[in-house]
Amino acid sequence: MDEGSPSNGGQVFGASWRPKGFSFGPYLVQKDAPSLRVVVRKPLVVRLTKDIVETYQICNPLFKYSEELNPKRYLTSPSVGVLNDGYDNVNSDLILAVNLVLVNAETQRRYIVKDLLGHGTFGQVAKCWDAEMNSFVAVKIIKNQPAYYQQALVEVSILTTLNKKYDREDKHHIVRIYEYFVCQRHLCICFELLDSNLYELIKINHFRGLSLSIVQLFSKQILRGLSLLKDAGIIHCDLKPENILLCTSVKPAEIKIIDFGSACTEDRTVYSYIQSRYYRSPEVLLGYQYTTAIDMWSFGCIVAELFLGLPLFPGASEFDLLRRMIRILGAQPPDYVLKEAKNTSKFFKCIGSVHNIENGEVSIGGRSAYQALTEIEYEARELKKPLIGKEYFHHKHLEEIVTNYPYRKNLSMEDISKESQIRLALVDFLKGLVEFDPAKRWSPFQASRHPFVTGEPFTCPYQPPPETPRVPVAQNFKVDHHPGAGHWFAAGLSPNISGRSKFSMHNSPHFQVVPYGYGNSYGSVGSYGSYNDGTGLGSSYGSYGDGGNTFAYFSPVGPSGMNLHAQSGVSVRGSSPDARKMFIQYSQGNGLGVSPSAGMFVPLPLGTSPSQFTPPSSYGQVSSGSPGHYGPTSPARSSCHGSPLGKMTAATHYNRRKNWGYSGNPQSQESPSSQHWQGQFIDGASSGQAEWNPQVLGSASLHLPSNPSATSSKQQRGGSGIAASYSAMPNMPSSLTRGPAIAEAAHDKPETSLSVPDPGDWDPNYSDEQLLQEDGSDESNITTEFSKAMHLSSADSSVGVGRFNRTSSASSNIPIQSFA
């Protein structure tokens, strides 16, 4: 019977089949054969449009090309110019279009806008081409409102101090600031260009946690940054995954902390409504005095989220937040905090005597004098139901949540056992960070010594080394509160610190009670140093020196910037070597100073405000073009937090980040592979538009037709000012339309008017149907690519057991080319 004949069903059985001859043979070039030619064709659109102007002119000799008539690709939405002579939209944002040029009038340096990287409370961040440096940079274009302008200057000054004074060698994972200038009445801050933020990283990993090796690496790097902040006495106040960006230009890739727009100095903690809710520390929530320890709480929340893929405390309201903290941590804030905090009565009832509190502990029987309100009690007290969010974790307590988190598929027993050990270390690490008592919470130095970070085997609960006694180095610096530098006041860099510490502080790794022997209080730009740091994170600075008499004149808007003047009888005796080095270093500078105006920094006129900048006589052509395209914005979660500006515009972001909601299935945490989160990506690619005739802002050569309908800036600034523009924002709850002065009064209102996080709220492309689609891309995870890019594959095997890490080719689908 013939093989493969119909009688055997047409099947060919391999055993009996033999090839009858070779189908393929080597290619032999024959003598007269035509040579092979590969034609690479340009894309159709290129071929059709090449020399199109000439083509039109051939068709119609009267045709004339005018660049001005090119349609603009707007990046800002809305793109209708109604303020600032038509340059700004209703939100006081400069209307950006691709190829618009922002010019630093002082240096004539030009930044050509190419794309929108994000937008937040303070304005927009654009990816710009810096022709002079032949590279891309990120330019934050602050809203044209005095309050934003002032607060943005705080960001400039704090970052400048950190970069130039504390981290000259760029080793502490803090974003670099290049320069700042005013263009079209907008303060523009030029930063190094970074990549996606950690929230985006988690999102493209389908809200599954990252591998432990990456969590460990990021933790180490963030701690370096926090260590620097602590030494500088600066509190970030808004640490969250969105404000930690990947920096893939260096290999292996790193992370950097951004957004110092809410930062303040430790001795000037004037704002009580700070931190994004999920990352808000108990002391801030309760209205208690705060220190750099609040950043350590946020850091703990971030580490947990990196591992779990979901926020640890996704409170839909402050009540819900506290409720989750208490349940997951199995504890509550210490009585000494509850006794002093402003908002205690909102969340707790007193059930015992508060007179027995000694050294922060309750002396009678160890039972707390306070009990958290139940939902019913809260409702009765506040006359409103507290918003309660969905539960995402199957387990109640931190340890169970972490240890029961699903392991990556296909792990060998050996790997599972290794990872389970690291998970125990992680639990212990987290416990020291999300510690209710700010006095016991670990400092960056202490946390950086934990086995989870060092990679040492974890055997028993970690006992942190003692933190360096805090010496008020900051008191050594006298701040010259320049009359024109109102922002220093806001930043806490003013000598006027009358509102200082009305609470008694307990010794802690973050704050140690040191008697202030100085008659006059000076604003702090210095640090409460740590002599341990030299052995800890390498190059953090600190001083255990005594009260020297070094005075700092810190005026970022002045020509000399920050000046440290050694007074007669100055003592740097006892300072750490690093600190001494710093003094020497700066003594050779511009008036011993660190100045934003030194080097690349350009001085602003003293005491200037946006309104003092005269716009060019003519203004840009503003058309009501297509709605702008929004770049990969930072989906600030519930970030209606304090800051000097009350983070009001965060309301426009609120609920953009709703994906905690995933399916609302409480099992989701248990079986991530069965979850179907739909990550959405906004095309962040630069426009392919030609770069001809870019609209130039800030240059004198701007000659564009006036827009007769544009309202004069005077008119716009009259009336309700900021509040007017806030209230004009779509979807903004009225409770959020408050100016800085009333930020505190409206403390918890946002939560009452905003819904429980749900993906559809903030993700325009989200749909429940998508959520329900079969994922099937378990292997397609960013961690593999990222690990590879970061050379983690060769990492210590004890930490290299990432969940979901597979070297599958499917992972190439992940759209993060920059990691490759």
Ligand X SMILES: Nc1ncnc2c1ncn2[C@@H]1O[C@H](COP(=O)(O)OP(=O)(O)OP(=O)(O)O)[C@@H](O)[C@H]1O
> Per the annotation, where are the binding residues for ATP?
140
122 binds ligand X (CB under 6 A): yes
Q: Which residues contribute to the annotated binding site?
A: 140
Nearer to ligand X, 94 or 138 (CB): 138
Distances (CA, A) of 655 to 6, 305, 370, 506, 750: 65, 18, 33, 37, 12
Residue showing the smallest CB distance to ligand X in the complex = 120
Q: Which of residues 506-525 bind ligand X (CB under 6 A)?
A: none
Q: How far apart are CA 798 and CA 221, in angstroms?
A: 19
Is there binding between residue 726 and ligand X (CB under 6 A)? no
Contacts of 329 (CB under 8 A, 6+ apart): 397, 398, 431, 434, 436
| Closest to ligand X by CB, 501 or 818 | 818
Catalytic residues: 238
Q: Tell me the C-alpha distance between 598 and 109, whole Å.
A: 16
Q: How far is the CB of 261 from ligand X (least distance, A)?
A: 4
- Shortest spacing between CB 533 and ligand X, in angstroms: 26
Between 118 and 672, CB nearer to ligand X: 118
Site residues for ligand X, 606-635, by CB under 6 A, read 634
Rg of the chain over Cα atoms, rounded to whole angstroms, equals: 29
Phi, psi (5° rounding) for residue 126?
-110, 145
CB of 322 within 8 A of CB of 282?
Answer: yes
- Residue 650 as a binder of ligand X (CB under 6 A): the answer is yes
789 near ligand X (CB under 6 A): no
Q: According to CB under 6 A, which one of 78, 120, 309, 444 is a site residue for ligand X? A: 120
* Smallest distance, ligand X to C-beta of residue 432, A: 27
Residue closer to ligand X, measured from CB, 285 or 650: 650
At 506 the three-state DSSP class reads: coil
Least separation in angstroms between residue 461's CB and ligand X is: 36
Q: Which is nearer to ligand X, 126 or 447 (CB)?
A: 126
Cβ 142 to ligand X shortest distance, Å = 8
User: What does the alpha-carbon distance between residue 795 and residue 803 come to, in Å, rounded to a whole number?
Assistant: 15
Closest approach, Cβ 741 to ligand X, in A, equals 19
Residue numbers 78-117 binding ligand X by CB under 6 A: 117
Quick one: 572 or 782, whose CB is closer to ligand X? 782
761 binds ligand X (CB under 6 A): no
Among 76, 197, 343, 652, binds ligand X (CB under 6 A): 197
* CB-count exposure of residue 817 (10 Å: 0-12, 13-18, 19+): exposed
Residue 332 · residue 368 · CB < 8 Å: yes
Instruction: Give the shortest CB-277-to-ligand X separation in angstroms.
Output: 13
- CB 649, min distance to ligand X, A: 7
How many residues sit close enough to ligand X to count as binding (CB under 6 A)? Answer: 26
Cα separation, 549 vs 774, in Å, equals 67
Q: Report, in this order, helix, strand and coil percent for the chain, each rounded to 5.
A: 30, 10, 60
92 Ramachandran zone, left/alpha/beta (phi>0; psi -120 to 50): left
Which tokens belong to 489? 């006041």
Judged by CB under 6 A, the residue of 285, 341, 636, 801 near ligand X is 636
Among 258, 341, 422, 485, binds ligand X (CB under 6 A): 258
Q: Which strand (E) or helix (H) includes residue 259?
A: none
Alpha-helical runs (H) found in 474-617: 486-491, 577-587
Residues 6+ apart with CB under 8 A from 142: 122, 123, 148, 149, 152, 186, 187, 188, 189
Helix (H) or strand (E) holding 554, with range, is strand 550-555
Piece of 122-130, 388-396, 688-696, 779-787 that binds ligand X (CB under 6 A): 122-130
Q: Token match 């430790």: residue?
A: 266
Q: Site for ligand X (CB under 6 A): which residue of 209, 233, 261, 438?
A: 261
Q: Is 801 a residue that touches ligand X (CB under 6 A)?
A: no
572 binds ligand X, rule: CB under 6 A: no
Q: Taking a C-beta distance cutoff of 8 angstroms, is the pair 276, 243 a contact?
A: no
332-364 core/surface letters (b: 16 or more CB in 10 A; e: else): bbbbbbbbbbebbebbbeeeeebeebeebebee
Q: 734-737: which pairs have CB atoms within 8 A and are 24 or more residues apart?
A: 736/640, 736/646, 736/648, 736/650, 736/651, 737/648
Nearer to ligand X, 91 or 521 (CB): 91
Binding flag, residue 640, ligand X (CB under 6 A): no
**Contact set for ligand X, span 220-239 (CB under 6 A):** 238
- The reply on whether position 736 binds ligand X by CB under 6 A is no
Interface with ligand X includes 242 (CB under 6 A)? yes
Binder to ligand X among 193, 235, 337, 490 (CB under 6 A)?
A: 193
Q: Which of residues 171-190 bind ligand X (CB under 6 A)?
A: 175
Gap between the Cα atoms of 631 and 633, Å rounded: 5
Question: Is 762 one of the binding residues for ligand X (CB under 6 A)?
Answer: no
In Å, how far are 42, 239, 280, 751 from 220, measured between CA atoms?
48, 15, 21, 33
Residue 426 sits in the site that holds ligand X (CB under 6 A): no
Cβ closest to ligand X, residue 245 vs residue 401: 245
- Interface pick for ligand X out of 87, 191, 288, 313 (rule CB under 6 A): 191
Looking at residue 184, the DSSP 8-state letter turns out to be: T
Residue 89: CB minimum distance to ligand X, A? 16
Q: Which is nearer to ligand X, 91 or 211 (CB)?
A: 91
Which of 96, 126, 138, 210 touches ligand X by CB under 6 A?
138
- Please name the helix (run of DSSP H) or strand (run of DSSP E) that holds residue 427, with its range, or none: helix 413-433
State which of residues 91, 104, 121, 595 lies at the interface with ligand X (CB under 6 A).
Answer: 121
Asked if 125 interacts with ligand X (CB under 6 A), we say: yes
User: Of 126, 194, 202, 329, which lies in the binding site for ligand X, with binding defined by CB under 6 A?
Assistant: 194
CB contact set of 744 (below 8 Å; sequence gap of 6+): 271, 272, 273, 642
Strand segments, DSSP code E, in 596-717 are: 696-697
Cis preceding-peptide flag for 740 (omega within 30 of 0): no
Cβ closer to ligand X: 190 or 771?
Answer: 190
Q: Which of residues 93, 259, 267, 763 is near ligand X by CB under 6 A?
A: 259
Mark the segment that binds ligand X (CB under 6 A) among 120-128, 220-228, 282-290, 376-384. 120-128
Give the shortest CB-169-to-ligand X separation in angstroms.
Answer: 19
How far apart (Å, rounded) are the C-alpha atoms in residues 699 and 102? Answer: 8
Long-range contacts, stretch 770-775, CB < 8 angstroms, 24+ apart: 770/676, 770/678, 771/662, 771/663, 771/676, 771/677, 771/678, 772/663, 772/676, 773/676, 773/678, 774/676, 775/206, 775/673, 775/674, 775/675, 775/676, 775/677
Least distance between ligand X and beta carbon 656 (Å): 11
The Cα 144–Cα 186 span in angstroms is: 5
Query: Which C-beta is closer to ligand X: that of 441 or that of 656?
Result: 656
| Interface segment toward ligand X; rule CB under 6 A; list 192-200, 376-384, 450-458, 768-776 | 192-200
Judged by the rule CB under 6 A, the positions of this chain that interact with ligand X are: 117-118, 120-123, 125, 138, 140, 175, 191-194, 197, 238, 242-243, 245, 258-259, 261, 634, 636, 639, 650
